[in-house]
Structure 1
Amino acid sequence: MPHPGPFSFSCPTDVRFGAGALQSLTEVLPPSARSILLVKGSSNTASGPVRKLLSAAGLEVQPVVCAGEPGVRTVNDAYRSLASRSVDCIVACGGGSVIDTAKALRVALLKGADLTDDDFAVNHGPMGQIPLIVLPTTAGTGSEVTANAVLGAATSNAKVSLRGRGLQADIAIVDPDLMRNAPRRVVLFAGMDAVVQNIESFTSAKATPFTRALSQPAMATTLGALVEILETGDEGAWADLACGSLASGIALANGGLGAVHGIASVVGGAFPAPHGGVCARLLAPVIRANLASSACSPAVRDDIQECIAVICDQFAPTQGDDPLSGLESWLSDQDLPRLADWGVTLGDVEALAGASTTASSSLKNPVKLTPREFADIISQAL
């Protein structure tokens, strides 16, 4: 085994994990905070316990509702709705879209102006003037510990990331109990996003010994927990799924992802396709393409085979010559849509493949795939 080379590692977010961790919310609020900006999803169910705690503490709460995947325009709408209101702290309670909205909204508030696409090119520095506390209600994106926020651009269909230390939450409260009421489809999409993130961060060209130490065991525990929750309703599996998602967030923030997320970012920018669902649909085609590529080195091949073994331990192949067929059969049984169900057509494949080759995550794929190979991946997922 080669000796590790130089690498860096960062997780400046203070993480509180475990069932009941929600109760620490009022303890970690700034002592002088009186006006709280609460960014939440459309439903009041997930954020109910958080609103109850804040209300009991006698705090003024200004809600901002995130109704879908965020973009520059939706963040600017939220920013303008606040007018001259004072904000002492931002609390985000929801899935990845909610947390990314809160991150981007903090940038706009401290900038004192609307966001523009030019902000994607800025390295946003620390923004401690307005503390950000996040409470994820889905186990998937790992956004609670990443230094970026994915938004739809204002002048194109692309999904792009705001990046920098200023996008990092100050405190993340990861309480599995907050995740139990998510709709089944949300659990599937978000959970598969976490599974893919662990697999891709393990095999990423930028992976480090630390990121691989996090993602390697999490591949199996995250996938197993997701299956248990969806098939048996195992309450104890929520902690495993939440922990696996958290591990994937730290790993991807420090080691990158791969072609699944590269393609998903392009597809999600052009079509109304949920990120986690797209990632789930692309996982098997990307693994096959990486393994079949002439650019796949022996070391990368071993890593990919390790990922395939994890999948096969959970899903026995349904077609003898395809070890990933069991996973794809299970996803079909879960009614996972195909890309065509979200509007992608054969005529879109070439343009999507071309854009995917230069996507940030694609550049960290363990194998350098050609535009033709990207096109074949997308075609398989149609």
Structure 2
Amino acid sequence: MAQAREHRAACIVAVGGGAVIDLGKALSGLSVSDGDPGEFLERGDGPARRLEDPLPFVAMPTTAGTGAEATKNAVIGVPERQAKISLRDARLVPDLAIVDPALTDGAPRGLTLATGLDAITQLIESYLCNRANPVTDAICRATIPTAIVSLHRLMQNEDAQARDVMARASFLSGLALANSGLGIVHGLASVIGGRGAAHGVICGRLLASALTVNAAAVQRRSGETSRFRDIASWLATGLDRPIEDGFAALRDFVDAHDLPSFENLGLSQTEIESVATMARSASSTKANPVALDHDEICRVLSDAW
């Protein structure tokens, strides 16, 4: 921010992954707004200050995961709170987003897996959440099945066509979440990510257990689980497993391709209770298909751990 002010920046261009694009968004607004950056974050201790009109901002994603080039929020790590908090303003949506799948060609396998799982999680949570609507349904139904197939293919070999599909899926996942909401996976990820772990890895580790716990909770409360059956079918088909094994297929997939475990990420089992408590008040959690109680959220974490 100091450098942008010193150079009297007239435009901000961010070339990189989701963290880089979020940094660019934040700079476009904060570098022209006086005051402590923390005053503009949604910290829950009073209304966030309003930014001045942001600088023009261009986003060029080099990973296929966050969809940050399509959203209005910049996620900022706040270490003293061990949390990630959003700087949110409709004017932070990039003025220009250049989504060129070739910029993701040859990305490391582990990065491809983690970012791809982030995009798929965002699409799935947008489809299942309590704010889903006809527009987001159309995006998600058209995108989830091909994204799963393409990520599976990229774990086997480099594939330019699969890279194209994942770049599109990432962008559309940003559009979907911006027009619906997310769920418990992102509610938990906002807390766990504040401790330093990579966002896509967290989402990938949580998704299968969150689907299982949520499906059971929805079954008990309303019995309407057709959307969960859709997801299970798309996962099973995309991962070459029997239809009834969809959620298990996802769990096996992340294990088979060495996605880091929560133990490797530094999350202790003794922290499960406190993380679950903090996640209940996260903004993403409020869009979960049903309101999960504390024990159910703990089950999502313990099963994933």
Report the TM-score when normalising by structure 2: 0.93
RMSD: 1.9
- The offset of 1:127, in angstroms, is 2.9
Structure 2 matches for 1:66-105, cutoff 5 A?
A: 79-105=1-27
Report which of the two structures shows the higher radius of gyration computed on alpha carbons. 1
Q: Does 1:374 align with 2:300?
A: no
Find the counterpart in structure 2 of residue 111 from structure 1.
33
Give the conservation status (yes or no) of the 8 Å contact 2:114–2:200.
yes
Q: Does 1:360 align with 2:283?
A: yes
Give the conservation status (yes or no) of the 8 Å contact 2:185–2:206.
yes
Q: Does 1:213 align with 2:141?
A: no
Give the conservation status (yes or no) of the 8 Å contact 2:4–2:27.
no
Give the conservation status (yes or no) of the 8 Å contact 2:63–2:104.
yes
SS in 1 for 2:264: helix
Give the conservation status (yes or no) of the 8 Å contact 1:144–1:172.
yes
Cα deviation digits, residues 273-292 of structure 1 (max 9, x gap)? 10000100101100100111
Give the conservation status (yes or no) of the 8 Å contact 2:76–2:86.
yes
Find the counterpart in structure 2 of residue 285 from structure 1.
209
- The offset of 1:244, in angstroms, is 0.9
Equivalent residue letter for 2:261: R
Report the TM-score when normalising by structure 1: 0.75
CA distance in 1, matches of 2:175, 2:160: 24
Q: Does 1:264 align with 2:189?
A: yes
Relative to structure 1, is the Cα distance of residues 208 and 381 closer, same or farther in structure 2, using a 3 angstrom cutoff?
same
Give the conservation status (yes or no) of the 8 Å contact 1:124–1:167.
no
SS in 1 for 2:31: helix
CA distance in 2, matches of 1:154, 1:321: 41
Relative to structure 1, is the Cα distance of residues 96 and 379 closer, same or farther in structure 2, using a 3 angstrom cutoff?
same
Equivalent residue letter for 2:171: L
Find the counterpart in structure 2 of residue 242 from structure 1.
167
Equivalent of 1:187 in 112, 126, 134: 112
Structure 2 matches for 1:173-184, cutoff 5 A?
A: 173-184=98-109
Give the conservation status (yes or no) of the 8 Å contact 1:317–1:325.
no
Give the conservation status (yes or no) of the 8 Å contact 1:179–1:238.
yes
Kindly, what percent of the aligned residue pairs are identical?
Answer: 36
Equivalent residue letter for 1:369: L
Equivalent of 1:133 in 34, 58, 71: 58
CA distance in 2, matches of 1:296, 1:279: 25
- The offset of 1:296, in angstroms, is 4.1
Cα deviation digits, residues 168-193 of structure 1 (max 9, x gap)? 11110100011113221111110000
Find the counterpart in structure 1 of residue 197 from structure 2.
273
- The offset of 1:310, in angstroms, is 0.4
- The offset of 1:123, in angstroms, is 6.8
Equivalent of 1:231 in 148, 156, 162: 156
- The offset of 1:222, in angstroms, is 1.1
Structure 1: gaps (5+ residues) = 1-78
Relative to structure 1, is the Cα distance of residues 125 and 85 closer, same or farther in structure 2, using a 3 angstrom cutoff?
closer
